[in-house]
């Protein structure tokens, strides 16, 4: 397996506060890697730095061998990295259809977009039913489906997902994770940030644990799930 | 009855120019959450660009007979001129302050406004004398009943203004650029994640808003041909009324600005005709206070809770 995404010495500061103190990790082509950690550990910051929403203070990010550090967000999505951000980032006053069209905004292949739309509707039939609805009126689960479906319309090679389970009922979370596995089976590499560590480790092949801006543990998902530290801190096992 | 009809025509004509200016305030606010106080100067420049362009063709000379296409040339010329200028102002004065506190941008806008007014008064620009706009729009009395006439020029002013508003409506709801504008106005950061080039969308917004203000300047000068000198207080007052229109309609809301402009124009002109012409500004600002008391977010605006 080759590294699709290489993060080296990534450091991010918000003013005087350091959010990431130089972290290193790779995401391999075709895997699901999950980033675990408590609130404020720097998980979302990592995703935001990769997708270009924030500029790292040092370090490099390589995607498919190319240095993308500091590129503006609207160019990075065109290279094949889609980010479904924290809080879903739905354009509430816009319709489901308009949100989906924005997902494909950077693309210039209408035929490919049309077939990807069909695929998204196959994954999330609910979105097809609500296509002309104003998206702010969707339920939380539907909004999360829209966020993921919209990200898929960029036809990403790497999908960044920030807390897709947040605030959703357990049944809906199970549906979302089932669909993530389908998306992964379709060949999309996924970098998944989650608070729900048991779901995330059951879905991912590998994981990394962030604590206050540093990676403290990295390895196969099954090893992490079996590790005493992880079990105590993130799986609620004493 | 005919007097009502004529007042209505005047109200719609003035109101639609307010609406065109209000659109620029509201679009910029919608995208950057900032009031562009230099916008009334863009409106003023629209009138003066129109006059100067007519002068270039010799249509301002006494006895000149401008061809029927003169209005088209002057209108499009003035609109292009302010579009380029609006783009440049955003690029030079506002973009470097994008991450600065909003008050800094506001002060920069006041600076731009003073700069435009003072450069405008230079002899190489427009000077300090008022001028008379030649009548480029054809005029005739369409019909007349008991001394009250409905004029062609009013009809054309209204037609052009409504046409431009329809074009804007199509731009915002029917094109890719419009979709990008609405996305940026909802959440600029997430719009960038979708691949929307936010800076270019902001530039386009300034260019479109400025072009509409220039159209308002041309139409206003066509209806009221006396063009005051660039730093005259009437420009600020007209711009301020258009801003009131944007707030009354719901700042940030495009259809609200159109409705607000027409409403403000009607209230002003009907008040002037049937109550007292001396209090026409009072009606406008009284309406503002009333709307702010009853619906603080404006007639078509949605109340929003500031996120903390």
Produce one character per residue of B26-50: b if its CB has 16 or more CB atoms within 10 Å, e if not.
Answer: bbbbbbbebbbbbbbbbbbbbbbbb
Answer with the residue of higher pLDDT: A114 or B147: A114
Residue A161's pLDDT band (cuts 50, 70, 90): very high
Q: A235 to chain B nearest CA, in Å?
A: 31
Looking at the domain assignment, is residue A171 inside a domain? yes
pLDDT at B3 over 90: no
pLDDT of residue A238: 54
Please answer yes or no on whether A51 and B193 come within 8 Å at the CB atom.
yes
Give the nearest partner residue to B186 out of A78, A93, A154, using CB atoms. A93
On chain B, the residues whose CB falls within 8 A of the CB of A74 are 192-198
Provide mean pLDDT across the span B86-93: 97
Please answer yes or no on whether A98 and B196 come within 8 Å at the CB atom.
no
On chain B, the residues whose CB falls within 8 A of the CB of A101 are 179
Residue B63's pLDDT band (cuts 50, 70, 90): confident
On chain B, the residues whose CB falls within 8 A of the CB of A155 are none
Residue B302's pLDDT band (cuts 50, 70, 90): confident
pLDDT of residue A92: 95
CB A83 within 8 A of CB A47: yes
pLDDT at B259 over 90: yes
pLDDT at A45 over 90: yes
Looking at the domain assignment, is residue A206 inside a domain? yes
| Alpha-carbon span B289 to B262, nearest angstrom | 17
Restricting to A residues 183-222, those with a Cβ less than 8 Å away from any Cβ of B are none
pLDDT of residue A233: 76
Residue A94's pLDDT band (cuts 50, 70, 90): very high
* Chain A interface mutation, best of B193, B301, B307, highest count of A Cβ atoms under 10 Å: B193
Looking at the domain assignment, is residue A149 inside a domain? no
Q: Does A119 touch chain B (CB under 8 A)?
A: no
Provide mean pLDDT across the span B50-57: 95
Q: Does B183 touch chain A (CB under 8 A)?
A: yes
Residue B305's pLDDT band (cuts 50, 70, 90): low
Q: A98 to chain B nearest CA, in Å?
A: 7
pLDDT of residue A184: 97
| Alpha-carbon span A209 to B59, nearest angstrom | 75
pLDDT at B275 over 70: yes
pLDDT of residue B304: 60
Q: Does A150 touch chain B (CB under 8 A)?
A: yes
Residue B92's pLDDT band (cuts 50, 70, 90): very high
The domain of A38 spans 3-89+154-233
pLDDT at B270 over 80: yes
**What is the residue-averaged pLDDT of chain B?**
93
Provide mean pLDDT across the span A118-133: 96
Complete DSSP assignment for A101-138: HHHTTT---HHHHHHHHHHHHHH-HHHHHTTTSBGGGS
Looking at the domain assignment, is residue A133 inside a domain? no
What tokens were used for B233?
């207080």
What tokens were used for B152?
């062609």
Provide mean pLDDT across the span B32-59: 95
Give the nearest partner residue to A77 out of B187, B189, B194, using CB atoms. B194
Please answer yes or no on whether B182 and A85 come within 8 Å at the CB atom.
no
Count of helices and strands (H, E) across chain B:
11, 4
pLDDT of residue B1: 66
pLDDT of residue B308: 43
How many domains, in total, are found in chain A? Answer: 1
Residue B303's pLDDT band (cuts 50, 70, 90): low
pLDDT at B283 over 90: yes
Q: Measure the CA angle with vertex A47, ends A44 and A51; round to 5°.
A: 140
CB B212 within 8 A of CB B24: yes
Beta carbon pairs, A and B, within 8 Å? 65
Q: Does B172 touch chain A (CB under 8 A)?
A: no
Provide mean pLDDT across the span A17-34: 95
On chain B, the residues whose CB falls within 8 A of the CB of A83 are 193
Give the nearest partner residue to B187 out of A51, A89, A150, using CB atoms. A89
pLDDT of residue A1: 55
Give the nearest partner residue to B183 out of A77, A85, A102, using CB atoms. A102
pLDDT of residue B255: 93
Q: A184 to chain B nearest CA, in Å?
A: 21
Going across the sheet that includes A58-63, the strands are A17-28, A3-14, A58-63, A66-67
CA A187 to chain centre: 15
Q: Does B98 touch chain A (CB under 8 A)?
A: no
Looking at the domain assignment, is residue A8 inside a domain? yes
Please answer yes or no on whether A89 and B193 come within 8 Å at the CB atom.
yes
pLDDT of residue B307: 45
Q: For the segment B222-248, what is each residue's pLDDT rounded down to a tens digit? A: 999 999 999 999 999 999 999 999 999
Give the nearest partner residue to B189 out of A53, A93, A105, using CB atoms. A53
pLDDT of residue A237: 62
CB A63 within 8 A of CB A43: no
Q: How many CB atoms lie within 10 A of CB B217?
A: 31
Restricting to B residues 35-94, those with a Cβ less than 8 Å away from any Cβ of A are none
A59: CATH? 3.40.50.300
Domains of chain B: 2-294 (1.10.3470)
Looking at the domain assignment, is residue A56 inside a domain? yes
């Amino acid at each position: 397996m080759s590294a699709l995404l290489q993060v080296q010495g990534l450091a991010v500061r918000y003013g005087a506060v350091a959010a990431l103190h130089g972290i290193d990790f790779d995401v391999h082509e075709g895997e699901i890697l999950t980033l675990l950690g408590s609130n404020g550990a720097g998980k979302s910051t990592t995703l935001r730095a990769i997708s270009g929403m924030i500029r790292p203070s040092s370090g490099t990010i390589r995607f498919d061998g190319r240095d993308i550090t500091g590129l503006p967000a609207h160019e990075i999505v065109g290279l094949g990295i889609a980010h479904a951000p924290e809080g879903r980032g739905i354009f509430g006053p816009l319709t489901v259809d308009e949100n989906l069209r924005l997902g494909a905004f950077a693309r210039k292949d209408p035929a490919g977009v049309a077939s990807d739309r069909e695929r998204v509707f196959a994954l999330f039939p609910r979105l097809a039913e609500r296509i002309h609805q104003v998206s702010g009126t969707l339920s939380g689960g539907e909004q999360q489906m829209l966020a993921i479906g919209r990200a898929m319309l960029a036809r990403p090679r790497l999908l960044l997902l920030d807390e897709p389970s947040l605030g959703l009922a357990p049944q809906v979370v199970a549906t979302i994770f089932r669909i993530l596995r389908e998306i992964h089976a379709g060949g999309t590499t996924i970098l998944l940030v989650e608070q729900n560590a048991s779901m995330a480790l059951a879905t991912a092949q590998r994981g990394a644990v962030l604590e206050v801006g540093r990676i403290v543990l990295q390895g196969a998902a099954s090893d992490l799930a079996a590790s005493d530290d992880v079990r105590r801190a993130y799986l609620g096992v004493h | 009855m005919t007097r009502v009809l004529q007042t209505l025509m005047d109200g719609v004509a003035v109101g639609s120019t307010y609406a065109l200016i209000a659109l620029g305030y509201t679009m910029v606010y919608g995208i950057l959450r900032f009031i562009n106080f230099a916008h009334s100067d863009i409106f003023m420049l629209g009138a003066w660009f129109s006059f100067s362009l007519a002068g270039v063709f010799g249509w301002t000379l006494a006895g000149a007979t401008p061809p029927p296409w003169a209005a088209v040339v002057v209108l499009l010329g003035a609109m292009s001129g302010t579009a380029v200028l609006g783009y440049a102002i955003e690029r030079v004065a506002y973009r470097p302050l994008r991450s600065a506190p909003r008050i800094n941008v506001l002060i920069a806008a006041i600076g731009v406004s003073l700069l435009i007014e003072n450069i405008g008064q230079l002899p190489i620009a427009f000077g300090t004398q008022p001028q008379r706009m030649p009548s480029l729009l054809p005029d005739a009395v369409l019909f007349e009943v008991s001394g009250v006439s409905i004029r062609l020029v009013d009809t054309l002013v209204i037609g052009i203004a409504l046409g431009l508003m329809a074009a804007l409506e199509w731009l915002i709801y029917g094109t890719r650029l419009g979709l990008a504008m609405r996305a940026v106005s909802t959440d600029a950061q997430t719009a960038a994640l979708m691949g929307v080039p936010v800076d270019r969308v902001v530039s386009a917004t300034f260019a479109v808003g400025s072009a509409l203000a220039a159209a308002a300047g041309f139409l206003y000068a066509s209806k009221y041909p006396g063009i005051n000198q660039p730093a005259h207080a009437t420009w600020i007052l007209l711009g301020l009324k258009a801003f009131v229109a944007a707030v009354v309609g719901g700042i940030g809301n495009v259809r609200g600005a159109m409705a607000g402009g027409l409403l403000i124009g009607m209230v002003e002109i009907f008040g002037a005709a049937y109550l007292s012409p001396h209090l026409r500004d009072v009606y406008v600002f009284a309406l503002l206070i009333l709307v702010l008391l009853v619906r603080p977010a404006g007639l078509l605006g949605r109340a929003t809770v500031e996120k903390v």
